Chain A
Amino acid sequence: MSHAATNPASARAGTHESPAHLNHPALKAENITLEPQRVGTLWKALVGAGVVGIAAALAGSMAIAGGLDAGAATIHVKGALLIGVLSVMGFSLGSLFFLMINAIGGAGWHVTMKRVLEQAALLIWLPAAGVVLFALSEALAASNDGVGVVSSWLNPAITGEEYFITKKYPYFEPAFVAARLALYVVVWVGLARLMWSISRKQERTGDRWLTNKAAFHSAWGLVLLALVTAFFAFDWLKALTDYKFFSTMWGVYFFAGGLFVTFPAMALLLTFLRSKGKLQGLITTEHHHDLSKYMFGFIVFWAYIAYSQYFLIWYSQIPEETTWFMHRKEVWPNLSAFLIIGHFLIPFPFMLLRAVRRTALGFGLFACWLIFMHVVDIYWIIRPSLGITLENPVGFGQGLWIEIAGIGGVIALYAGLLLWRLTKAPLVNVMEPRMPEALAHKNYV
């Protein structure tokens, strides 16, 4: 057992037969272990930058509060932090979804990046905790006569309207909203932990049938994940910005955005790990080519559903629906145009090119751009609605550094914690029965 010395997992394989691929040179321990000292400075710096950024945003908002409406500065900084939280949430949810569709589809090519996806999915607790904190601050603001409330349905200027009371109130009963949020968090964290524990158990025991168990749990899990995420998007993006706004496409829009950011983030993360000398021969140009195909696919998918949502609302011109788009189109025209151009028109032709899809410089550059555009997308959803009923809301550009510090802080905190988590477990589950498929993965087109 020559591999037993280098591979602790195989030594614990127990009653199960060790897979033949364990002797593969790429699976030796030093290639799949991210030693804490390799990234210790970096993850601590990122977490530090995150904490400093968030603190600076909070402190800065207090500093500008003097010249504004009561609550405007609070709404501004809470909105900025929420934009950051919802941006990183896309990566965790997208990773979880991608894990589950691959499990249910019996995919093998991705198993060398599966552990990194599992780690990203497991980190869903961070954005989930961010939303819970946000919800608590909303409850606090609501009890303070609504000063600093972001959610449209908690806004005292709106909640007195007859429409709200007669048509919408039962859904926005605070206890019901809180219970729903608790359910979303439990489902997300539960599913992420389920996928994680199955993978870790397989690593320990070498039981190849756990792969089928993951497929089984993905089947019902995907339905639950889709429903819960859609309703989360209804509650904390759509109703938050305008509770009158209708769109059955909204859940898909948020989901599409999540997957839109998952593949570029994975491409960057894996390139980073490879630059540290890890995953050599496990993540190759072929795997990156497929990630780039997914990147391209979700550029198109996002554009398709975002346009479809807008187009039907534009055509039917029902006041409750058009208001949301009208506000963005007329008060924020440049941002809206930038979203269409940057989110779709610029990356689309370039990501068609094989050269861009297969070279680290090409896909790396566009990965950075796409992550930025995802943040812009979430910004475009939330920012125009911040303080919409106030007489003196924070305009675009005013206190922009607070937004940058807040959003960047959340992203840095997330990235730092993810990097720290990656040092806690091997980067690859060597007991994956589909490992040979991933090791030999090749694009034949």
Chain B
Amino acid sequence: MGILGIPSKTDFGFRTKDGAVVHGVMAQFHTAANVYHAAEKVRDAGFAKWDVFSPFPIHGIDEAMGMKRTILPWIVAGGAATGVTIAVLMQWWMSGVDYPLVVQGKPYAAWEPFVPITFELGVLLSAFSALIGMLALNGLPRWHHPLMKNERFLRTSDDTFMIVIEAGDPKFQGEETVAMLQSLGATHVELVEE
């Protein structure tokens, strides 16, 4: 038994002595600079399932965390291309094939009036794919998250910074990980139950 009383890994993952599933450990930092440099060390230690929580965006934190660039732009590009294609085909088929009408003496299926609708549908599907893609990549929406029942964690939306390393991370070593976080300058390290 170490500082937080996490026993070593069982066949059922990390458990507290009461048998509760360990979600991970949460380390509190008081300044953005501290959490930034701690994040660099956690990144270099090779952790994969972890995150930094801050009340405001910290410039360069994605680099300090070693985060890869998101694929979201490509999802949005796909949405835009789909919207543009649908809009052009729909309008061409409607006004050029299915029901050609003379409007103001303009040619059937003239491209000019297609442009605003093509633009709008392109933007609409871009926006949809941006929102839905972002939610999907973040694993949202979800009913609950273990961190949300922790009073101290809620302060990350107010005046403190946190690094949370999940127990599901292959590098997670229980008490050793706790000791590492303390050595990085965490002012408080706490166990988070599932």
- Chain B 19-53 against A: per-residue CB contact (8 Å), 1 yes, 0 no? 00000000000000000000000000000000000
A442 touching B59 by the CB < 8 A rule? yes
A71 to chain B, nearest CB (A): 36
User: When the two chains form their complex, are residues A442 and B60 in contact, meaning their CB atoms are under 8 A apart?
Assistant: yes
* B116 contacts across to A, CB distance below 8 A: 311
Residues of chain B at the chain A interface (Cβ within 8 Å): 57, 59-60, 62, 77, 104, 112-113, 115-116
User: A352: which B residues are within 8 A, CB to CB?
Assistant: 77
Query: Once bound together, how far apart are the Cα atoms of A311 and B112, in whole Å?
Result: 6
The distance from the CB of A8 to the nearest CB of chain B, in whole angstroms, is 35
Q: What residues of B have a CB within 8 angstroms of the CB of A311 in the complex? A: 112-113, 115-116
Judge whether A314 and B112 touch: CB under 8 Å: yes
Nearest-CB residue, chain A, relative to B115: A307
* 5 further A-B pairs in the complex, CB-CB below 8 A; given A307-B115, A444-B59: A311-B113, A315-B113, A444-B57, A444-B60, A444-B62
Report chain A residues within 8 Å CB of B113.
311, 315
**Residue A359 is within 8 A (CB to CB) of chain B in the complex:** no
Bound-complex Cα distance A315 to B116 (A): 13
Q: Once bound together, how far apart are the Cα atoms of A314 and B57, in whole Å? A: 48
Contacts A/B (CB < 8 Å), 18 sampled: A307-B115, A310-B112, A311-B112, A311-B113, A311-B115, A311-B116, A314-B112, A315-B104, A315-B112, A315-B113, A317-B104, A352-B77, A442-B59, A442-B60, A444-B57, A444-B59, A444-B60, A444-B62
CB distance from B52 to the nearest CB of A (A): 15
Q: Tell me the smallest distance from the CB of B85 to a CB of chain A, in Å.
A: 14
Label chain A's interface by main secondary structure: helix
CA–CA, A27 to B173, complex, Å? 49
Q: CA–CA, A314 to B112, complex, Å?
A: 8
Size band of the interface chain A makes with B: under 10
Query: What is the distance, in angstroms, from A53's C-beta to the closest C-beta of chain B?
Result: 38
Give the distance in Å from the alpha carbon of A335 to the alpha carbon of B1 in the complex.
80
- A365 and B140 CA atoms in complex are apart in Å by 41
CA distance A352 to B62 in the complex (A): 22
User: Chain A residue with minimal CB distance to B58?
Assistant: A444
Min distance, Cβ B182 to any Cβ of chain A, angstroms: 30
Per-residue CB contact flags for chain A residues 419-445 toward chain B (1 = under 8 Å, else 0) read: 000000000000000000000001010
Q: Which residues of chain A (361-388) have a CB below 8 Å from chain B? A: none
Q: How far is the CA of A334 from the CA of B116 in the complex (A)?
A: 24
A310 and B116 alpha carbons, distance in the complex (Å):
13
Please give, as numbers and ranges, the residues of chain A lying within 8 Å of B57 by CB-CB distance.
Answer: 444
Measured in the bound complex, the distance between the Cα atoms of B115 and A310 in whole Å is 12
B103 and chain A: residue at smallest CB distance:
A315
A284 to chain B, nearest CB (A): 15
Collect the chain A residues with CB atoms within 8 Å of residue B59's CB.
Answer: 442, 444
How far is the CB of A340 from the nearest CB of chain B, in Å?
10
In A279-297, which residues have CB < 8 Å from any B CB? none
Contact with B along A290-329 (1 / 0, CB 8 A): 0000000000000000010011001101000000000000
Instruction: Return B18 CB to nearest CB of chain A, in Å.
Output: 43
A293 to chain B, nearest CB (A): 14
- A285 CB to closest chain B CB, in angstroms? 14
Q: Tell me which residues from 312 to 361 in chain A have a Cβ below 8 Å from any Cβ of chain B.
A: 314-315, 317, 352
Complex Cα distance, B106 from A317, in Å, reads 10
| Complex CA distance for A314 and B59, rounded to whole angstroms | 48
By beta carbon, the residue of chain B nearest A353 is B73
Q: How far is the CA of A314 from the CA of B105 in the complex (A)?
A: 11
Q: What's the least CB distance linking A292 to chain B, in Å?
A: 15
Kindly state the separation between the CA atoms of A311 and B60 in the bound complex, as whole angstroms.
Answer: 44
Q: Given the complex of chains A and B, what is the CA–CA distance between A315 and B115 in angstroms?
A: 13
Q: Tell me the smallest distance from the CB of B68 to a CB of chain A, in Å.
A: 13
Assembly CA distance A189 to B113 (angstroms): 42
Task: Using CB atoms, name the residue of chain B closest to A310.
Answer: B112
Which 7 pairs, one residue from A and one from B, show the smallest C-beta to C-beta distance?
A: A314-B112, A444-B59, A311-B112, A307-B115, A311-B115, A444-B60, A317-B104
Chain B residue at minimal CB-CB distance from A307: B115
| A440: nearest chain-B partner, CB-CB | B59
Name the CB-closest residue of B to A316.
B104
Residues from chain A with Cβ under 8 Å of B77 in the complex: 352
Shortest CB distance A353–B (Å)? 9
Instruction: Give complex CA distance A262, B104 in Å.
Output: 40
- Residues in A neighbouring B112, C-beta threshold 8 A: 310-311, 314-315
Which chain B positions have C-beta within 8 A of A307?
A: 115
CA distance A317 to B110 in the complex (A): 14
Give A313 Cβ to nearest chain B Cβ, in Å.
10
**Chain B contacts for A314, CB-based, 8 A:** 112
